[in-house]
Amino acid sequence: MPGTTREELTALLRAWTKATERMTLGAEAAPGGVAGGNPLAAPADTGEAMGLPASGLTVTIGFGPSLFDDRFGLADRRPEALIELPAFRGDALRPERSGGDMALQACAHDPQVAVHAIRNLVRIGAGRVSVRWSQLGFGRTSSTSTSQATPRNLFGYKDGTNNLKAEEPELLERHVWVQPDDVPGAAAWLAGGSYLVARRIRMHIEVWDRTSLQEQDATFGRRKLKGEPMGGSEEFDEPDFAALGSDGEPAIPRDSHVFLAHASQLDGIRILRRGYNFTDGTDGLGRLDAGLFFIAFMRDAHAQFVPMQRALAAKDRLNEYIVHDGSALFACPPGIDADDPSDVWGRALFT
């Protein structure tokens, strides 16, 4: 945001809050925005969501570490844990797909509604902010409620079986929501919020599709058809890492994704996964540019995600079939107070 002042940034956050509130209700970004304004001026709504329902639209905002430099007088308000993620073994990060001062995430049952929301927020921000990078995802790659069936990733495996669920408030408090003691003093604006980690993970689809089912199962540590852990019989069976197979080796390989990512191997670390599949055409060499847009929320990325990813980067069998090419960390403040019409995104941060 070169040249943008603190006053311009806070005015933008107010405008974004107002427009988002309207769009989450299924309304235009501004009253009469599509065709009710001055015909000699650009419309205040792009129009592609006209006639569509709200489709469960939600929009989340996050603030990146780079926002807390000298431009906006926020240096003393940066939470201690809001520092860039370290490099991990095997990363092939592209700068144009990483980082950023702020993040906007729109989710909806209808992708056109989500794209409409982002498009209009970008339009409103013209001249004050510009898009560094974007990613369109579809479906889900983790269930976040017991009412949801576990979705599948593009490798065909159920993803997020052991994810934290909305029906587990005590676990969410422990692992997801930033607590007041975590952010003392000027960083207290983040209490009740969460950290968002975004990782663009490209899958080597063509290599995977030529890999045997036995190897695929061993890579994940789960069976493909029902998603049960190897050695188990049902999807939600607790993985038995002590069980042995007919060959006398562990039924769940020690380099499988399930083994390495399990809380029992990470001193109890857990995170809330909320990722999406993506397909961005081909790479010009006949290969799909597709994979997992990993999004996860947690109480402290450096205490939770970093040790988890280091363990995976060092030994995960899945690394043969994936590469991380985008990465970012953001601090997401608590949601807007619906009972306070004056509340806006970032109010506590700037006041």
How do residues 242-291 score in pLDDT, each as one tens digit?
999 889 999 999 999 999 999 999 999 999 999 999 999 999 999 999 99
Give the count of domains, the chain.
Answer: 2
Alpha-carbon distance of 318 to 312, in angstroms, equals 9
- DSSP H helical ranges for the chain: 6-24, 111-124, 169-175, 205-208, 213-220, 257-261, 305-315, 347-350
Residue 351 in this model has a pLDDT that exceeds 90: no
Cβ count near 10 (within 10 Å):
18
Residues 115 and 162 occupy one common structural domain: no
The separation between CA 41 and the C-alpha centre of its own chain, rounded to angstroms, equals: 36
Question: Would you tell me how many other CB atoms lie within 10 Å of the CB of residue 114?
Answer: 24
Same domain, 113 and 203: no
Q: 195-209, 263-277, 328-342: which range is least confident on average? A: 328-342
Tokens in use for 82? Answer: 């809001």
| pLDDT of the residue at 164 | 95
Domain that residue 67 falls in: 1-82+100-132
Query: How does the average pLDDT of the chain come out, rounded?
Result: 96
Give backbone dihedrals phi and psi of 295, rounded to 5 degrees, phi first.
-130, 135
Tell me: do 128 and 245 sit in the same domain: no
Contacts 24+ apart (CB under 8 A), 167-173: 171/270, 172/272
Q: What is the pLDDT of residues 36-53, one digit of tens each?
A: 999 999 999 999 999 999
For helices 111-124 and 6-24, angle between their N-to-C axes, nearest 10 degrees: 150
d(CA 23, CA 108): 11
Side-chain half-sphere exposure of 76, counting CA atoms within 13 A: 5
Q: For residues 45 and 144, state if they share a domain.
A: no
Give percent above pLDDT 90 in the chain. 92
Examine the pLDDT at 292 and tell me if it is beyond 90. Answer: yes
Residue 187: how many other CB atoms lie within 10 Å: 20
Q: Are residues 120 and 189 in the same domain?
A: no
Question: Which amino acid does the sequence have at 150?
Answer: T
- The answer to whether residues 54 and 68 touch, using CB atoms and an 8 Å cutoff, is no
pLDDT of residue 16: 98
User: Which ranges of 221-304 would DSSP assign to H, the alpha helix?
Assistant: 257-261
Strand partners, 138: 277
- One domain for residues 70 and 93: no
User: What is the pLDDT, as a whole number, of residue 341?
Assistant: 86
Q: Report pLDDT for 143.
A: 84
> 73 and 193, same structural domain?
no
pLDDT of 36: 93
Same-domain check for residues 31 and 111: yes
**Shared domain check, 128 and 145:** no
Task: Give the mean pLDDT of 285-305.
Answer: 97
Within this chain, do residues 105 and 238 fall inside the same structural domain, yes or no?
no
Q: Is the pLDDT of residue 338 over 90?
A: no
Question: In angstroms, rounded to a whole number, what is the distance separating the alpha carbons of residues 76 and 86?
Answer: 22
- Give yes or no: residues 110 and 168 share one domain: no
16 and 142 within one domain: no
Placement of tokens 């769940």 in the chain: 252
